[in-house]
Amino acid sequence: MVAARDWNQFHAPENLAKSIAIEAGELLECFQWSADADPARVQEELADVLTYCYLLADKLEVDPEQIVLDKLKVTAEKYPVEKARGRSEKYDQL
């Protein structure tokens, strides 16, 4: 779809990073005044965030699921189960 519309020129990684932040703001807007949000609207805004994430992953020539798994492995080592159970502190405060 992007190619057919000649949109590639706008898809510099920097612009995609800005777009992810912009769409993340729209997603957050679903929860601006309350924790209750319309699931259909949340889904739509989440799809927009993901779309730009996938375009950026494509630019970086990485697989989205693979980089998540790679990062989780690092995180799992930083937050051992015994220490992190039921806590939300950052790893350097455990």
Per CB under 8 A, residues contacting its own copies are: 1, 4-7, 9-10, 12-15, 17-35, 37, 39, 42-44, 46-51, 53-54, 56-57, 60, 62, 64, 67-68, 70-72, 75-76, 79, 81, 84-86, 88
* Smallest separation, CB 65 to its own copies (Å): 8
Nearer to its own copies, 81 or 92 (CB): 81
* Smallest separation, CB 77 to its own copies (Å): 11
- C-alpha 73/C-alpha 49 separation (Å) is 23
